[in-house]
C-alpha cells in the first residue's frame, strides 16, 4: 500500500488546535483565543485524527519497543531472565552502548546526552510493559490539560530532570545508605511517567480540577510507596521526574489555564528531534571510541 500524504483542507470549518473552538478555514486568527493560523495551514483536521496527543504516545511506545528489541538482539548471549518479574533483560553492555545514563556515563565518561536517551531504554519485558501502560494511561489526561505540544515538552523535560537528579545523588551523596542512593547506571521511561504525574498535580491545583488533583496525588503516593518496597527501582529518578513535572507547570507558557500556542508545537518538534539525536549518538559514540 502506497503512503499518502495528508490532504490539506481548503474550505469549510475546522477546530482550532489551540482552544478547540470551531473556526472557518479561511480565518487567519482564531476569534476565540487569538491564535494565529488556527487551522495549521489546513492540516489541523488530519493531524487531529492522530488523537489528542498528536500521535506522541504511539511514537514513544513504538520507539521504546524497537529499542528494547534492538538491545536484546545486540547482545543475545548477555540476555538474562531472573524470574517472572525480570524476564528478558538486555545485558548491561548493550544498554550502555545504546545510552543508559547515571553517574558513571555522565560524570566519568562524559556521555551527557544519555539524560535523554536512557528514557527510551528498558531493562526487561515487564519494565517496558509497566512504563508503557502508565504512559498510555496518563498521557491523554496531560494532553487534555496542557495540549499535545506541551505534553511532549513535559515528558522530555522530566526525563532529563529524572536522569540528572539520580546521577547527581549517586555521584555526590555517596554517604547515603545503598537503599537510598542514586543510580550509577539507569534506564527507563518511569522518570517521564512520574513527570506526567507531577504535571497533573499542578494542573489540578492551578485549574481547580479537584478530581484530577485527587487522582494524581493518590497515584503518586501509591507509586512512591510501592517503589520503596521493590528492588531495582530508581526512586531518585522518580522523584526527579515528579519534581520536574510540577515545576514545569509553574513556568511561563505552561499555565494550564491558558491554551497551547503554535510555538508549543515548535518546541515539541525540537524536543523530539533532540531526543532522536541523543538516541543515535550513543551507539555512534561507542563505535568511534572503539
Cell of 72: 536484546
- Taking alpha carbons only, the member of 193, 216, 190, 189 closest to residue 205 is 216
Q: Where are the beta strands (DSSP E) in the chain?
A: 13-15, 22-24
Quickly tell me which residue has 491564535 as its cell: 35
User: 22 φ, ψ to 5°?
Assistant: -75, 130
- Taking alpha carbons only, the member of 88, 70, 92 closest to residue 186 is 92
Q: Are 117 and 98 in contact (CB under 8 A)?
A: yes
Indicate if the alpha-carbon torsion angle 134, 74, 275, 40 is positive or negative: negative
The C-alpha atoms of residue 34 and residue 137 are separated, in whole angstroms, by 31
- Residue 61 neighbours by CB distance under 10 Å: 18
Between helices 190-206 and 210-228, what is the axis angle to 10°? 150
Q: Which residues participate in catalysis according to the annotation? A: 190, 238
Between helices 148-172 and 125-146, what is the axis angle to 10°? 130
Amino acid at each position: 500500500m502506497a503512503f499518502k500524504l495528508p490532504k490539506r483542507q481548503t474550505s469549510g470549518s475546522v477546530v482550532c488546535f489551540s482552544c478547540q473552538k470551531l473556526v472557518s478555514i479561511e480565518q487567519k486568527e482564531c476569534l476565540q483565543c487569538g491564535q494565529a493560523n488556527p487551522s495549521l495551514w489546513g492540516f489541523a483536521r488530519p493531524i487531529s485524527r492522530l488523537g489528542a496527543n498528536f500521535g506522541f504516545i504511539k511514537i514513544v511506545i513504538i520507539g521504546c519497543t524497537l529499542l528494547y528489541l534492538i538491545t536484546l538482539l545486540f547482545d543475545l548471549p548477555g540476555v538474562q531472565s531472573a524470574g517472572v518479574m525480570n524476564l528478558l533483560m538486555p545485558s548491561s553492555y548493550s544498554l550502555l552502548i545504546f545510552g543508559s545514563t547515571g553517574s558513571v556515563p555522565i560524570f566519568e565518561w562524559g556521555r551527557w546526552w544519555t539524560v535523554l536517551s536512557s528514557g527510551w531504554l528498558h531493562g526487561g519485558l515487564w519494565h517496558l510493559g509497566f512504563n508503557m501502560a502508565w504512559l498510555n494511561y496518563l498521557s491523554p489526561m496531560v494532553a487534555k490539560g496542557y495540549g499535545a505540544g506541551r505534553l511532549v515538552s513535559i515528558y522530555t523535560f522530566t526525563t532529563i530532570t529524572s536522569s540528572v537528579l539520580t546521577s547527581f545523588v549517586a555521584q555526590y551523596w555517596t554517604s547515603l545508605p545503598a537503599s537510598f542512593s542514586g543510580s550509577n547506571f539507569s534506564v527507563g521511561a518511569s522518570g517521564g511517567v512520574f513527570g506526567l504525574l507531577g504535571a497533573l498535580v499542578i494542573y489540578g491545583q492551578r485549574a481547580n480540577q479537584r478530581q484530577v488533583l485527587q487522582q494524581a496525588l493518590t497515584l503518586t503516593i501509591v507509586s512512591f510507596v510501592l517503589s520503596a518496597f521493590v528492588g531495582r527501582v530508581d526512586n531518585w529518578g522518580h522523584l526527579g521526574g515528579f519534581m520536574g513535572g510540577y515545576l514545569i507547570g509553574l513556568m511561563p507558557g505552561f499555565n494550564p489555564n491558558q491554551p497551547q500556542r503554535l510555538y508549543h508545537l515548535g518546541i515539541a518538534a525540537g524536543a523530539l528531534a533532540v531526543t532522536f539525536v541523543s538516541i543515535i549518538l550513543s551507539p555512534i559514540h561507542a563505535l568511534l571510541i572503539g
